[in-house]
A and B are shown apart, each in its own frame.
Chain A
Amino acid sequence: MTGPGKQYAIIGASAAGMAAAQAIAEKDPQGRILIFSEEPDPPYFRPLIPFLISGRKSAADMELQGAGPFQSPGLDLHLNSRVEDLEVKAQKVTVSGGKTFAYDKLLIATGSRPYIPTDIEGVDQEGVYALRTLKDARAMAKRIEQAKQAVLLGGGLLNLKAAFALLERGLKVTLVVQSAEVLSRLMEPEDSRLIREALIRTGLGIETGVRAIRIIGSGQGVRAVLLDDGRELAAEMVCIGKGVLPNVDFLDAQQIPLEEGVVVDRFTQSKAPNIYAAGDVAVTFNPVTGEKVMTALWTNAVEMGRCAGLNMAGRPTEYSGTFGILNATQVADQPFVSMGIVHTKGTDYETHIAASSKAYRKVVFSADGQRLVGLLLIGDISRAGLYRFIIRERMPVRSFKAHLINQTVHYGHLLKAKGPGLS
């Protein structure tokens, strides 16, 4: 079916969609690649948008095309074009404005949107944001002009990055976290002492174990946030970071099976003919546990999007799946990496913890101790990539296990364990 000169349609122009387009352009140079984005901005590195708020980068600094792996010219990019209808049998998409485009191969890479909890009143007021797009970042940057205090709901990475940006702009920032500790998806409360200390050094206010029940407004928009313990936190700006939902509303579940997101096989293809999915919108699998997983990570989206692009261009490529957790970043002055299984409380995983005043390490093995399944590094993150490789390849760890526990593992250990084939 596939061959040179096909017409490819890609819905969504962020990580997954653009990585797919790049892969297709490499493998099928005669192909025509149509990309539809509902956003008005040309594709950009979404993880950088907090820098627009801090003022460290402009929108132009974040442009995707021409940077990193995204080097392919000649993509037919349609901005302000939301795909409203997909006809699976006729192989056609209809975009806002009514224009229709035929395709040979289609990629659903519509990503996700912020989840806004329904149990918080007053989220529609001016000054309440969820940071997802450049447009959101611009609005937040503008709001800073009339804001002195910000309250951020949710203690995940996205909100932390927004918090640092707002702190840089001189606002008083308070993080309201329902869980017992920040970053609860990436580590357990017992693991996060160094992160918490680093956050406190930045001047960030943190309220854990409480949740917002109402956002109180006045003529100028938001004025305060009411917590469930009765306290009122003054804020002219609120940012909600409570996770994301896949953008599947335009799809007919009768034609494209959904399980929250679009279900795909190992070759990133949905159950509908010639339709693929990648990125936040796709349901993929965890290579360690075999469980179905959805993630909202740039890195995963690029990897999966590239894989989908290769498959669409007629190069069958199996996707290697992804861990539910795969995060690296710097929180204030502390770098950390969290990957695989890191929540071990009450489980029988073999867990090794090393804690000092400067660094924290948690290395997690399967219950029988034969396989590495997870890693948390705070302070010293060197060699983290080797752990990712070992987890994903499900390598037997016996010959170098002590080196994993002590963070002295190096490529030579893998080379010896795997034989010369790895080089």
Chain B
Amino acid sequence: MSQSQPKEIFVRLDRCLSCHSCELACAVEHSRSKSLHQAVAETPQPKRRVYVEALEANQSLPVLCRHCEEAPCLHACIAGAISRVQDVVITNPDKCIGCWTCVMVCPYGVIGRHLEEHKAYRCDRCPDRTVPACVTACPTKALVYGSVEEYSKGIRQTAASEMAAGKRS
């Protein structure tokens, strides 16, 4: 059952140590060479689509496209460049005219601009991979890829085992 459930990238707020590994892995995955050594020399410079934002002195938050159900960007686009393909909201660069309306309406602030190509970009959930690069790269598992069902089950199990081990009251 859970195989057919749509998957998304969840963020565990208490886990991020602000190491920025997700950002690096994202940029490499979205480079032409897909290798760190070559990616750094590419022009245009490969861009990350996940942003680790500092919240407090010891708390950070990776922010990335939520692929919203009622996606404001998708409806706002004046060029018909944004559509939903298998649960993922994607920007078609051939149709994008670089008017930045999507940037203006995204409440998460996660749509970037390729200045060189004059196109908008955002998380595409790594179409060439089974698990998105940022999730694989995260050493603390602050990023989790799965269905809502799997994710909430995971939280319940973690809570139960921590309770059993006496970590929580």
Contact = CB atoms under 8 A, between A and B. Distances in A.
A411 B81 contact: no
B82 interface: yes
B100 A69 contact: no
A384 B110 CA distance: 10
Which of B72, B105, B118 neighbours the largest number of chain A CB atoms within 10 Å of its CB? B105
B53 A328 contact: no
A385 B80 contact: no
B116 to A, nearest CB: 12
Contact of B104 (A19, A45, A381, A416): A381
Contacts of B79: 45, 47-48, 68
Given A381-B100, A412-B63, A389 B107 contact: yes
B107 A48 contact: no
Nearest to A327: B104
Interface size class of A (residues with CB under 8 A): 35 or more
A266 B81 CA distance: 30
Contacts of A67: 80-81, 83, 95
B100 A412 contact: no
A223 interface: no
B144 interface: no
B25 interface: no
A328 B75 contact: no
Interface stretch (A124-132, A175-183, A295-303): A295-303
Given A69-B74, A335-B113, A383-B109, A412 B53 contact: yes
Interface of B: 51, 53-55, 61, 63, 72, 74-83, 95, 97-101, 103-113, 118
**A-B pairs with the 9 shortest C-beta distances?**
A67-B80, A68-B80, A385-B106, A328-B104, A389-B107, A47-B78, A410-B53, A383-B109, A412-B61
Given A45-B78, A48-B78, A416-B55, 17 more contacts: A19-B75, A45-B80, A48-B97, A51-B97, A68-B81, A303-B75, A306-B75, A337-B100, A337-B104, A382-B103, A383-B109, A384-B100, A385-B103, A385-B107, A386-B109, A410-B109, A411-B53
